[in-house]
Structure 1
């Protein structure tokens, strides 16, 4: 079964932003001078608003701090705030952490989002490591109270972004992933309160966990942990909530893409006890093949599920399309391909890893996604995306500070990191092509 033409049409979203604005090379006329002056004045006004918002984070009134955080988020969505971060990095981070420690659920959500944007602006390096180190303890503390689903989801998204950008060692990423797992599966640990999570929290945690999984070399992880993860994700496919099903299905597809199922039947043995482990390996292999077949049956069922009473048709169609893609991947090894236009250039994904990263970042950035994709080199490196540059006037240029940060060593570090990760995913994808169906035939 080849790739479906209809699939390409369904998943190829188009966000086309024109780059046809002309740039005059003639001498500056008085009217143009007024326009340039107006642009400068507008930028100074925006900078002043951002500085005022930062000052307002010191206010005692919670509603004032919430309004200030919302203004900061809007500013980061509308422009990559390199110069502001260069000057006010520590102040912004510590005030946002203060809001997480003492604020209302709404304030915690806003502060969490602001910290995530701060990490995406700084890019990998010492500052990103500082964000992760400083943020982890208060985030863990805030997660212990599960009274508000939107707050928990925002904290999980923040932890995901700061770990993705600031985590230099696999152990740091595993630590954050384990925290997410404990939120939805408390019996695995005791550092979060064992309260039954809401569907929205489960969806957020699984999506965040899968996003961080895209950055890991799965062959270094504990097989028992992997097996528990797959069993739990499989159980989520039976839940009534379609958002949970989709998140769990994508997580399973990613695990299959990484090729880790074949590892479960291989135990590490020494020369003296290899004979004793032969029986265990055989039983393990049989268990894994049974789990394979169960997941395949679940995916087939969800790809053709009929709508139930009160079901939203949009959610049903999303589920069907997602699980049809997963089924095609499991049976034939073909990952879904997506394409969207940003600034006249195509942003493409060709693997589950890239698709999960793209969907997570689109959800996190919301209305700021297009601007970030156009101007943020961290995102360019992640997706190998090179947008066209759009200048509104001949005088609109990067400041000295922005130039230094725009080509900072952090960008080189992140590019090499993401290129390595993408290479690992492609190797796993090639290795796994058709692997699921072949393995079933070998039982």
Structure 2
């Protein structure tokens, strides 16, 4: 895997005196206990054309600094609202200079919220971890963020007593963080192994739809994403391991699992064809029949929107597999 270009770390800005994140006349705030209103994306919009860009940016960063401080609050509601505010801010514009100066503080805050928080707080903290890596881009800074937060994210993913929506979010965002940040092949393979330990359980599931299947879906999608940046030898190993098992998931009751399995199969066929022009899949005929059935599914017992989504996806999946078949013949 090619090495990423590294940015030089910039020195952190000088420590400022304690601040109040918003002035008393801010119309969106009455007291600090109402900080949940700060996370409204609209609070990051410019107040009007008369406000110059520099002043608007200063106000924007001032609010973000306040959110960073509030992530250390004793109140779970306040921490969660602060995380939401940071999430909205980091989603709205590129803030590399601001972020790189506060990278360590932000990483520590996210780690603390992941460890101390529950449920929704963990979910938002995981999303913020991903945004932090996106803001920093591929390089040394984001790799350090990943190495700090990955063990905590993996711990939540593996914790059966943890909130299921938090586990799903951690599985999704851990994969994205790894894709963006890691330049270490061992980190990559260990993250993929974490995902495999989850979604392979679905190979032996009885069927049905439950919260666990939603977690397995996120793990499978993250695994598939990371497979695209693996060394060719590892790709071949993973194809051999999973290409004959994934079709089992096409009969799951959960439409999202069927779709995730279909998309992953299409990826495996494409990668296999790129790696070996002589690639042969002995069960191609029954697989294409299954894919055709899913691409034309008219089962009235399934929701209309699910059938429409499934047919659209599996037409593409079938096309990808048939292209492979045409190349081989």
Q: TM-score scaled by structure 1?
A: 0.57
Displacement of 1:223: 4.8
SS in 2 for 1:54: helix
C-alpha distance in structure 2 between counterparts of 1:87 and 1:70, whole Å: 20
Alignment partner of 2:192 out of 151, 167, 177: 177
C-alpha distance in structure 1 between counterparts of 2:117 and 2:74, whole Å: 10
C-alpha distance in structure 1 between counterparts of 2:119 and 2:132, whole Å: 20
C-alpha distance in structure 1 between counterparts of 2:308 and 2:182, whole Å: 36
Alignment partner of 1:318 out of 297, 302, 309: 309
Deviations 1:249-289 (A, max 9, x none): 111101111125986999xxxxxxxxxxxxxxxxxx7xx41
Counterpart residue number, 2:244: 231
C-alpha distance in structure 2 between counterparts of 1:251 and 1:245, whole Å: 10
1:105/1:232 CA distance change after superposition, 3 Å: farther
Equivalent pair of 2:120/2:166 in contact (CA under 8 Å): yes
1:91 matched to 2:105 = yes
Displacement of 1:73: 0.3
1:45 matched to 2:37 = no
Counterpart residue number, 2:12: none
Alignment map for 1:142-221 (pairs within 5 Å): 142-146=156-160, 147-186=162-201, 198-217=212-231, 219-221=232-234
1:261/1:296 CA distance change after superposition, 3 Å: farther
Q: How many residues align?
A: 275
C-alpha distance in structure 1 between counterparts of 2:124 and 2:118, whole Å: 10
C-alpha distance in structure 2 between counterparts of 1:197 and 1:175, whole Å: 24
The farther-off stretch of 168-177 and 113-122 is: 168-177
Counterpart residue number, 2:268: 255
Equivalent pair of 1:210/1:251 in contact (CA under 8 Å): yes
Q: TM-score scaled by structure 2?
A: 0.76
Counterpart residue number, 1:308: 300
Equivalent pair of 1:223/1:263 in contact (CA under 8 Å): no
Counterpart residue number, 1:141: 155
1:245 matched to 2:261 = no
Equivalent pair of 2:146/2:181 in contact (CA under 8 Å): yes
Deviations 1:338-361 (A, max 9, x none): xxxxxxxxxxxxxxxxxxxxxxxx
Equivalent pair of 1:112/1:158 in contact (CA under 8 Å): yes
Displacement of 1:116: 0.3
1:251/1:130 CA distance change after superposition, 3 Å: same
Displacement of 1:41: 3.3
- Greater RCO (CA < 8 Å, at least 6 residues apart): 1
C-alpha distance in structure 2 between counterparts of 1:81 and 1:93, whole Å: 15
Counterpart residue number, 1:403: none
CA-based RMSD: 2.6
SS in 1 for 2:251: coil
Equivalent pair of 2:83/2:125 in contact (CA under 8 Å): yes
Counterpart residue number, 2:286: 294
Q: Is there any run of 5+ residues in structure 1 with no aligned partner, and where?
A: 1-33, 189-195, 267-284, 334-434
1:71/1:329 CA distance change after superposition, 3 Å: same
Equivalent pair of 1:184/1:197 in contact (CA under 8 Å): no
1:169/1:121 CA distance change after superposition, 3 Å: same
Alignment map for 1:25-36 (pairs within 5 Å): 35=49
Equivalent pair of 2:118/2:163 in contact (CA under 8 Å): no
SS in 2 for 1:326: helix
Displacement of 1:231: 2.8
C-alpha distance in structure 1 between counterparts of 2:100 and 2:275, whole Å: 47
Displacement of 1:198: 2.0
Displacement of 1:71: 0.1
Displacement of 1:224: 5.2
C-alpha distance in structure 2 between counterparts of 1:248 and 1:139, whole Å: 24
Counterpart residue number, 1:64: 78
Please list every run of at least 4 consecutive aligned residues from structure 1 whose deviation after the TM superposition is greater than 4 angstroms.
260-266
